[in-house]
Structure 1
Amino acid sequence: MTANPADTTLWPAPHATGAVDATVHVPGSKSVTNRALVLSALASEPGWLRRPLRSRDTLLMADALRAMGVGIEEGVGPNGTGETWRVLPAGLRGPATIDVGNAGTVMRFLPPVAALADGEIHFDGDPRSYERPLSGVIDALRVLGARIDDDGRGTLPLTVHGGGALDGGPVEVDASTSSQFVSALLLSGPRFNQGVEVRHIGATLPSLPHIRMTVDMLRSVGAQVDTPESGGEPNVWRVTPGALLGRDLTVEPDLSNAQPFLAAALVTGGKVLVPDWPTRTTQPGDRLREIFTEMGGSCQLTEYGLQFTGSGAIHGIDVDLSDVGELTPGIAAVAALADSPSTLRGVAHLRLHETDRLAALTKEINELGGDVTETADGLHIRPRALHGGIFHTYEDHRMATAGAIIGLAVEGVQIENVATTAKTLPDFPDLWTGMLGSDGA
């Protein structure tokens, strides 16, 4: 199930010969699945996760929690209704070694959990994980009473010396590079002796919808959370200490992973139905309805899901993506095929994601004949006729799907290491070719 980070196999991106017309069942949300696993592991009673995502990131999270003593049983739901995970909380304990891969949620959400364990928990991961920012979580945990050895790097690898409990209390965090710093502390906050008060002190805060997702999920399991939106101070989140309930949660489809399929409708002038699209959600991917409509499509949310239809034209866009940065690679791919220039703003933090996404998108699209320039906080894209070639992914799942989108309209695009999509979207190549059908349309 896990992708091989060293895989350099070239995958010929399918070229569409006509308008797509497909129903695509998108697997569950990675962001919801991994938050639900953490909250279920910290609960005072067992819980169920229905239709969880099984991908590299979520399996790494499940294995990490198991290593600390949590029971996670995999099975099938009542009447064969899809896969379920039964989470059985237990006393967290070490010693344990945790492989985070290159998963931001695992490397950032679990050190606070490890601080609650009894024993040493060692964290390691892929080479790229050593380069991703983690000091916000490490420094905050030390202020809250944790013992962490990282040789002063502020990055992986590191060891958390769990003492079975953590004082908690107020802490300041600069989350300018990742909203996950805030979410990481909030998720474990109910188990801290004094709860936690997280005050963001940075100039910017990317991906606010992901913090709202964390807050909503905390409240759903009984936590009391005060937020700026609920009348609290700006940039301050407070979680009261208390027991968390075990819940029966059905995981929503991953709306960010729906992006390439909606893009296919836009690029080919076709239509794609994504079943079970939620009517209310904190997932950032829901903004695709607005963004891709502005770029030339139309959508209808029905009882069956979201139907997105392309018009046959693709328009450029000037858009601030600071709240939805993970959508940038797919939007950039569509913009490279548009009839007018685009400016994508507010995403300087993408330089610190799975790879430097701004540099990678610029290089790869330009090597196919594009005209992309980096700005201080994003990209400017001037559409040009593109040609085939190798689209490198840098072990980044969203680079791989961006290349596949371009391949729909440009013959001869080859994706290096398409297997990296298994990080959050298992079986992407099969889903992609299935959407296109046997005749490529």
Structure 2
Amino acid sequence: MTDRTVQTDLWPAPTAPGAVDANVTVPGSKSVTNRALVLAAHSSEPGWVRRPLRSRDTALMANALRAMGVQIDETVNPSGGEAWRIIPAGLHGPATIDVGNAGTVMRFLPPVAALADGPVRFEGDARAYERPLHGVIDALRELGARIDDEGRGSLPLTVHGAGSLAGGAVEVDASSSSQFISALLLSGPRFNKGLELRHTGRSLPSLPHILMTVDMLRKAGAKVDTPQDGGPRDMWRVAPSALLGRDLTVEPDLSNAAPFLAAALVTGGRVTIPGWPRRTTQPGDALRGLFTRMGGSCELTDHGLTLKGSGRVHGITADLHEVGELTPVIAAAAAVADGESHLTGIAHLRLHETDRLAALAKEINGLGGDVTETEDGLRVQPAPLHGGVFHTYEDHRLATAGAVLGLVVPGVEVENVATTAKTLPDFPELWRAMLDGPATGTRG
């Protein structure tokens, strides 16, 4: 288990002096970066990942793959930014992997380890030991893997890789995390019989992330059949095949753009995110519609996405089942809205980095808010807010939610803002630069 001291430092969240006006370049997508690393490790030839996100979660993924024998060379091109050269090799153990509290690492890599030659041990932060992993563990056992988890269905565990995996048909209840499905799909082309995966649980959360996985698999040369292609409901098929080495440039992380766009919404200002793709599988693209419904206006051009606030924030009724990671920032904006909001379809957030529903209700209410947990979400009613400590529970998205509230509520102090380094390095500096305006170097 990783020995890390919990940070309790308080960060005085800056209050906006007026309407923000800035261009903010956000780093690359964590979801794309970590999927690209896994696919590159499975490829039959070297590949490139350009402009990757460099954060705690992606560093954990890269170091874990290195521990299993994958060569990852990091270079910096002054004109083209950072690039990682991934040279696949025979996966092997013994190895010990620190997953931190990264869902992609703890779930995507046990299938990779099952293909390694030798034992691979998985450890992590204390919260990682509480997060569900049974879907991946049980499925891998059905597919032929030997895993020692002492019956917990969670970390810590050891995967005893045999150099290959039979694969074939398997059923998974992924109602608690779509990552169970993505984890198996990403390694499916390497299984001897490929993969025929059926989801057996309730409704599936975060479908855009599965669509992202499928899209990236296909671009790497895999043959994938999905329910969206007219196949059987809740079933994915991946044929056994070699994957191609790709030269991939990572898109900006649209979910990490959420607090910056919210800044324009709650202050009645303007924020542009350069490089916003016209076509993407990232869940963060839903922000355009959600923030428009909450009173903003969006314009997507070849330069990027610009959101302008109207000076008023409206309440919203929204099913966020497919885009749950956007909930903390949307809840923060809803807390300063002019009407009641109902955020539904997000019961699975109770199993994320922390229980996000309980944490949001507790922390917003601690500032004078009126937030109630429901069976599958939150009800947020307008209430006068005041300053105070906003605890983050080592959850990066809680920290950015607190920063959004601090823009319009003087005296908010965010505990452990450094936790944002999980997916958004240098967040406090980016936040301050946004408030200083376009002339400070936030131009994209």
Relative to structure 1, is the Cα distance of residues 5 and 285 closer, same or farther in structure 2, using a 3 angstrom cutoff?
A: farther
Deviations 1:169-221 (A, max 9, x none): 00000000000000000000000000001100001110000000000000000
Deviations 1:19-49 (A, max 9, x none): 0000000000000000000000000000000
Q: Does 1:431 pair with 2:440?
A: no
Aligned residue identity for 2:58: T
CA distance in 2, matches of 1:438, 1:13: 17
Relative to structure 1, is the Cα distance of residues 5 and 344 closer, same or farther in structure 2, using a 3 angstrom cutoff?
A: farther
Aligned residue identity for 2:404: I
Aligned residue identity for 2:263: A
CA distance in 2, matches of 1:277, 1:355: 29
TM-score by length of 1: 0.98
Aligned residue identity for 1:42: H
- 2:21·2:437 contact (CA, 8 Å) conserved in 1? no
For residue 16 of structure 1, what is the aligned residue in structure 2? 16
For residue 123 of structure 2, what is the aligned residue in structure 1? 124
Deviation at 1:127, TM superposition (A): 0.2
For residue 272 of structure 1, what is the aligned residue in structure 2? 271
Deviation at 1:383, TM superposition (A): 1.1
Runs of 4+ in 1 over 2 A off after TM superposition: 2-5
- 1:196·1:240 contact (CA, 8 Å) conserved in 2? yes
For residue 317 of structure 1, what is the aligned residue in structure 2? 316
CA distance in 1, matches of 2:5, 2:195: 37
For residue 420 of structure 2, what is the aligned residue in structure 1? 421
For residue 54 of structure 2, what is the aligned residue in structure 1? 54
Q: Any gaps of 5 or more consecutive residues in structure 1?
A: none
Deviation at 1:80, TM superposition (A): 3.0
Aligned residue identity for 2:361: T
Relative to structure 1, is the Cα distance of residues 4 and 403 closer, same or farther in structure 2, using a 3 angstrom cutoff?
A: farther
The within-5 A match list for 1:205-244 is 205-244=204-243
For residue 33 of structure 2, what is the aligned residue in structure 1? 33
Deviation at 1:5, TM superposition (A): 5.5
- 1:407·1:413 contact (CA, 8 Å) conserved in 2? yes
For residue 249 of structure 1, what is the aligned residue in structure 2? 248
For residue 355 of structure 1, what is the aligned residue in structure 2? 354
Aligned residue identity for 1:120: P
CA distance in 1, matches of 2:127, 2:193: 35
- 2:364·2:370 contact (CA, 8 Å) conserved in 1? yes
SS of residue paired to 2:159:
strand
For residue 151 of structure 2, what is the aligned residue in structure 1? 152
SS of residue paired to 1:58:
helix
Q: Any gaps of 5 or more consecutive residues in structure 2?
A: none
For residue 105 of structure 1, what is the aligned residue in structure 2? 104
- 1:3·1:422 contact (CA, 8 Å) conserved in 2? no
For residue 114 of structure 1, what is the aligned residue in structure 2? 113
Deviation at 1:3, TM superposition (A): 12
Deviations 1:67-123 (A, max 9, x none): 00000000024x631000000000000000000000000000000000000000000
For residue 401 of structure 1, what is the aligned residue in structure 2? 400
- 1:5·1:395 contact (CA, 8 Å) conserved in 2? no
Relative to structure 1, is the Cα distance of residues 3 and 213 closer, same or farther in structure 2, using a 3 angstrom cutoff?
A: farther
CA distance in 1, matches of 2:81, 2:47: 16
SS of residue paired to 1:72:
strand
Deviations 1:332-389 (A, max 9, x none): 0000000000000000000000000000000000000000000000000001010000
Aligned residue identity for 1:32: V
- 1:400·1:420 contact (CA, 8 Å) conserved in 2? yes
CA distance in 2, matches of 1:382, 1:300: 29
The within-5 A match list for 1:167-178 is 167-178=166-177
Deviations 1:199-257 (A, max 9, x none): 00001110000000000000000000000011110100000000000000000000000
Deviations 1:249-296 (A, max 9, x none): 000000000000000000110000100000000000000000000000
- 1:134·1:154 contact (CA, 8 Å) conserved in 2? yes
CA distance in 2, matches of 1:223, 1:17: 51
For residue 189 of structure 1, what is the aligned residue in structure 2? 188
Q: Does 1:80 pair with 2:96?
A: no
Aligned residue identity for 1:378: G
- 1:5·1:420 contact (CA, 8 Å) conserved in 2? no
CA distance in 1, matches of 2:335, 2:120: 45
CA distance in 1, matches of 2:392, 2:421: 13
How high is the sequence identity, in percent, across the aligned residues? 74
CA distance in 2, matches of 1:3, 1:12: 27
Q: Does 1:136 pair with 2:157?
A: no
Deviation at 1:17, TM superposition (A): 1.0
Aligned residue identity for 2:165: L
Deviations 1:142-182 (A, max 9, x none): 00000000000000000000000000000000000000000
**Number of aligned pairs?**
439
- 2:371·2:378 contact (CA, 8 Å) conserved in 1? yes
- 1:13·1:408 contact (CA, 8 Å) conserved in 2? yes
TM-score by length of 2: 0.97
For residue 343 of structure 1, what is the aligned residue in structure 2? 342
For residue 70 of structure 1, what is the aligned residue in structure 2? 70
CA distance in 1, matches of 2:62, 2:74: 10
Relative to structure 1, is the Cα distance of residues 410 and 91 closer, same or farther in structure 2, using a 3 angstrom cutoff?
A: same
CA distance in 2, matches of 1:5, 1:23: 35
SS of residue paired to 1:198:
strand
CA distance in 2, matches of 1:371, 1:161: 49
Aligned residue identity for 1:318: T
CA distance in 2, matches of 1:98, 1:70: 13
Deviation at 1:422, TM superposition (A): 0.2
CA distance in 2, matches of 1:203, 1:434: 43
CA distance in 2, matches of 1:176, 1:438: 42
For residue 7 of structure 2, what is the aligned residue in structure 1? 7
Relative to structure 1, is the Cα distance of residues 419 and 185 closer, same or farther in structure 2, using a 3 angstrom cutoff?
A: same
- 1:369·1:384 contact (CA, 8 Å) conserved in 2? yes
- 2:266·2:408 contact (CA, 8 Å) conserved in 1? yes
For residue 197 of structure 2, what is the aligned residue in structure 1? 198
SS of residue paired to 1:7:
coil
Deviation at 1:306, TM superposition (A): 0.3
